[in-house]
Amino acid sequence: MNQPDTPPPDRNGHWIFRRRTIDGAFWGLVLICALLALVELVYHRHTVFAFEGFPVAYGIYGFVCFAGIVFAGKGLRKVIMRDEDYYDR
Amino acid sequence: MIANLSPGLILIVGALLVPFLPGRLRYVYMLALPVLGGLQLAGLEHGAYGQTEIFGYTLTLLRVDALSVVFGTIFLIAAFLNVIYGMHERAPMQEVAALVYAGSAISAVFAGDMITLFVFWEMTAISSVFLIWASRTEAAYRAGMRYLIIQVGSGVILLAGVILYANATGSIAFDYLGVNGLATVLILIAFGIKSAFPLLHNWLQDAYPEATVTGTVVLSAFTTKLAIYALARAFPGTEALIYIGAIMTAFPVFFAVIENDLRRVLAFSLNNQLGFMVAGIGVGTPLALNGAISHAFVHIIYKSLLFMSMGAVLHRTGTIKASELGGLVRSMPLTTVFCIIGAASISAFPLFSGFIAKSLTLSATAEGGYVIAWLVLVFASAGVLEHSGIKIPYFAFFAHDSGIRCKEAPPNMLIAMGIAAFLCIAIGVYPAPLYAMLPYVVEYEPYTTTHVLTQLQLLFFAMLAFALLVRTGLYPAELPSVNLNTDWIYRKALPVLIRRIALLIERLRTGTLDRLQRRLERFISQVYRHHGPEGLMARTWTTGGTVLWVALLLGGYLIFFYL
C-alpha cells in the first residue's frame, strides 16, 4: 500500500527518489507560485467578472478548490467505500 | 475517391478481411484502412451524397460539412493510432471489433438522416462490446452485458424519438432539433446516455476499465464523442445543457480522487471532460461551439494517450491499482514522459493542446454571463489537474517505489504514444490548423498574457496544494477498494430487492400451502372421525332403532303435510 506522505529518503537510490530532489521540487514550486503572484504587481489582468480582479484570484481559487476536492474525497470515502469484493459477494 | 462512399464503410467492410490475412501483411492492411478512409474524406466536397427514398423518407448516407469533417478526421486519426497501439498482440476478434466500431462511429458522424444515424449508433454499441468481452474474464463478461443493455437501450430510445418526430414533422433529416416536445426529449435522452449525463453516466466507469489494454484505448475515443457530435448537431444553445455539463465536470472529480483503479480514474476524468463539451454546446454561441468541438478533437488524442500509458503499465506489470504501483519511472521512463505530456494536455497547461481548446469554452461561458457555470468549470479544471494531471502520473511512476521492475512498453505502444504526444504539443503550440477546421469563423487568440497568467496561477497553486497535502500526510492513501456509484442500484439494490421479494413470495406461498394443507388434513380427520370405521355414521344400527327412526321421520312428515 502507498504511504500518503512523501517517500522515505533514499540517498543511494534513483536520483528522482532522493530527499534533495523532492525538497528541491517543492521549493521550486513555491518559488514559481510566488513569481506568478508577484507578476500581478506589474501586469493588470483583464477581467470579465468583478471578483476576478481580487489579487491572485485564480491562484487562491485553484488552491482552495484542490484542497476542497481532496478533503471532500476523504469524506466521500466514509460513505461509499467498500471492500474490493463487494459486488462478488 | 469513390462517389457516395462513406469513409466509415471502408473500415467496416475492410475489417471483414482482417482475420484472413497473415502476420505483417495484416498490420499493413489495418493501417491502410484509416489512411484510405482519410483519402476518401479528403476527396469529398461539402454536400449530401448517397440519397435514397424509402417509404417516402429520404435517407442520406453521406452528409459532408464542416462539423462532420472535424469529427470524421479525428476518428480516423484515432483509428490509425489504435491499430499501432494494438500491434503487439494477435487478437483477431479485437482487431475486427475495433475497426468495425471506428467505422460505425465515422459512418454515424456522416449520416444525414436519423435512421442512418440510428443504424450506426447501434452498430457502435454492438461492435464495441467485444472489446470488453475480449478480456475473457467473468467480471468483463458481466460488465459487457450491462454496457450492452444500456447502449442498445440508448438506441431504442433514439428510435422511439425518431419515429415520433417523423410522425409529427414528416422529416427524418438530422439537423438542428432543439427541445420541443416528447420526440426531441427522447432523442436528447438517447444522446445523453451515450455522452454520460449525470446519473446516466455510470456505464462508462463500469465498463471501460474492464476492457482489454487496447480495448479501453479504442473505447475511449468513439462512443462518447459521437454523442457529443450529435448534441452539437441537434441541440446547440439548449440552456439546460450548460448546467448538465457543469455538473458533469464537477461530480466525477470527487470519485476520481478516491478511486484506486487508475483506468477507472481516467474514466471519471473522461466524464469530466465531456462536461466541458456539453456545457459549451449549451452556451451555443459560435465561440462556445468551436470550443466544444475543438475540445472533442484534442481530447480524443490526449485521453487516448493517457489510456495508452496506463495500458502499457497494465501490460507490463499486470496491475493498474494505484495501491500496488509506484516508482515505475525507473523501468518505463519513456512511458512516463508520454504520460506526463498527456497529463499536461488534459490539465490545459499553456503550450499543450487542452489549453487552446478549453479556453474557448471558458471564455464563451464567461462572456455569456453564466457566472455559476463558469465558476464550476474553473473548479473542475482544478479537479482535472488533481486526478488526471497529478494522480495518474504520480501514483504510477513516482510516489513510493513499489519495487516493481519491468521492461519499457513494447515499441509499437511507444510509437503510438509518441505520435499522440507529438500531436498534443504540436496543436498546443500551433493551434491555427485546428482552428481553421472548426465550423464557425471566430477570431480567437488563446495566448494572451491574461489567459496564460490566470491558467498558470490556477494550476501551480493547485499543485502547491497537492505538494503541501502530501508533505503533511493529509493526502488520502490509495486503498484497495470499490467505491459505490449509481451502478449500485442495479448491481446491488435491485438484485437484493428482487431476492427479498422472491423470498417473501416464497414464504407466502409455502405459508398459504401449509395452512391449506393443515385445513385439509383437519377436514379429512373430521370426516374420518364421523365416517371412518369407528365413526358415528359408520356404526351398525340395530333393526329396532332403525325402525323407530323411520317411524319418527314418517310421523314428522305427516304432521308437516297436514299443517
How far is the alpha carbon of B381 from chain A, nearest alpha carbon, in Å? Answer: 9
Distance from CA of A53 to the nearest CA of B (A): 11
Check residue A3 and give its pLDDT.
Answer: 44
Rounded to the nearest 10°, the torsion over CA B257, B259, B262, B266 is -60
- Neighbouring CB atoms inside 10 A of B237's CB total 15
Q: Which residues of A touch B376 (CB under 8 A)?
A: none
Give residues 390 to 409 of B whose Cβ lies within 8 Å of A. 395, 398-401
Residue in chain A nearest B321 by alpha carbon: A1
- In degrees and rounded to multiples of 5, residue B91 shows phi and psi of -140, 80
- Residue A10 pLDDT exceeds 70: no
For residues B127 and B104, is the Cβ–Cβ distance under 8 A?
Answer: yes
Instruction: Give the closest of A26, A59, A72 to B461, CB-based.
Output: A59
User: Residue A12 to residues A9, A15, B260: CA-CA distances in angstroms?
Assistant: 9, 8, 30
**Which residues 6+ apart lie within 8 Å of A48 measured at CB?**
B366, B367
Cβ-contact B90, B19 below 8 angstroms: no
Each residue of B128-140: pLDDT tens digit?
Answer: 999 999 999 999 9
B469 contact residues in A (CB cutoff 8 A): 67, 70
HSE-CB at B395 with a 13 A cutoff on CA atoms is: 36
pLDDT the model gives residue A1: 40
- B contacts of A76 (beta carbons < 8 Å): 254-255, 257-258, 483
Q: Exposed (0-12), middle (13-18) or buried (19+): which is B555, by Cβ within 10 Å?
A: exposed
Per-residue pLDDT at A6: 47
Q: Which of A58, A77, A79, A89 to mutate to test the interface with B (most CBs of B within 10 A)?
A: A58
Distance, CA of B393 to CA of B395 (rounded, Å): 6
Q: How confident is the model at residue A8 (pLDDT cuts 50, 70, 90)?
A: low
Asked if the Cβ–Cβ distance from A33 to B471 is below 8 Å, we say no
SS3 call for B534: coil
CB B422 within 8 A of CB B342: no
Q: Residue B399: which of A7, A66, A69 has the nearest Cβ?
A: A7
pLDDT at residue B248, rounded to an integer = 95
Q: Are strands B482-483 and A81-82 parallel, antiparallel or unpaired?
A: antiparallel
User: In Å, what is the CA distance from B479 to each residue of B202, B321, B327, B476?
Assistant: 21, 9, 17, 9
Q: Smallest Cβ distance to B461: which of A48, A62, A70?
A: A62
Q: Which of B37, B62, B69, B68 is nearest to B48 (CA)?
A: B62
Inter-chain residue contact A83 with B481, CB threshold 8 Å: yes
A16 has a pLDDT exceeding 60: yes
For B461, the closest of A4, A14, A33 (CB atoms) is A33
Read off the C-alpha cell for B481. Answer: 477498494
Question: What radius of gyration do chain A's Cα atoms show?
Answer: 20
Phi, psi of B49 (to 5 degrees): -130, 165
Nearest CA in chain A to B389: A66
Contact yes or no for B382 and A66 at CB 8 A: yes
For residue B399, which residues of chain A lie inside 8 Å, CB to CB? 2, 7
Mean pLDDT split into 10-residue runs, chain B, 563 residues: 86 94 90 96 91 88 94 97 93 93 97 95 95 93 94 95 93 93 95 94 92 95 96 95 95 91 95 96 96 96 97 94 91 96 96 95 94 95 92 90 89 97 97 94 90 94 93 83 82 88 93 94 89 76 87 93 85
Query: Residue B116 has which C-alpha cell?
Result: 442512418
Please identify among residues 219-248 of chain B the ones whose CB lies closer than 8 Å to any CB of chain A: none
pLDDT of A43 reads 86
pLDDT of residue A2: 43
Q: Which residues contact B250 (CB under 8 A, 6 or more apart)?
A: B272, B275, B376, B379, B380, B383
CB B357 within 8 A of CB B410: no
- Chain B residue at shortest CA distance from A47: B450
Compute CA distances B518 → B257, B509, B553, whole Å.
Answer: 61, 14, 38
Nearest CA in chain A to B473: A5
Contact at 8 Å (CB) between B379 and B387? no
Beta strands in B397-556, from DSSP E residues, in sequence order: 482-483
Residue of A nearest to B395 (CA): A2
Q: Quick one: pLDDT at residue B1? A: 65
CB distance A81–B470 less than 8 Å?
Answer: no
Asked if B58 has any chain A CB less than 8 Å from its own CB, the reply is: no
User: Which residue do the cell numbers 466524464 mark?
Assistant: B271
- How many pairs of residues across A and B have Cβ atoms under 8 Å apart? 181
Collapse the DSSP code of A3 into the 3-class scheme (helix H, G, I; strand E, B; otherwise coil) and give the result: coil
Q: pLDDT tens digits, residue range B72-90?
A: 999 999 999 999 999 998 8
Percentage of chain A beyond pLDDT 90 is 31
Q: Which residue of chain A has the CA closest to B386? A: A66
Q: Is B373 in contact with B246 (CB distance < 8 Å)?
A: yes
- Hey, are the CB atoms on B366 and A81 less than 8 Å from each other? no
Residue B116 CB contacts under 8 Å (≥ 6 apart), including other chains: B59, B60, B61, B107, B108, B174
Cα–Cα distance, B153 to B142 (Å, whole number): 17
Q: Is B447 on the interface with A (CB under 8 A)?
A: no
- Helix, strand and coil percent figures for chain B, each rounded to 5: 75, 5, 20
Look at residue B57 and give its three-state secondary structure: strand
Please give the grid coordinates belonging to residue B394.
Answer: 504520480
Q: Give φ, ψ of B48 to 5 degrees.
A: -110, 130
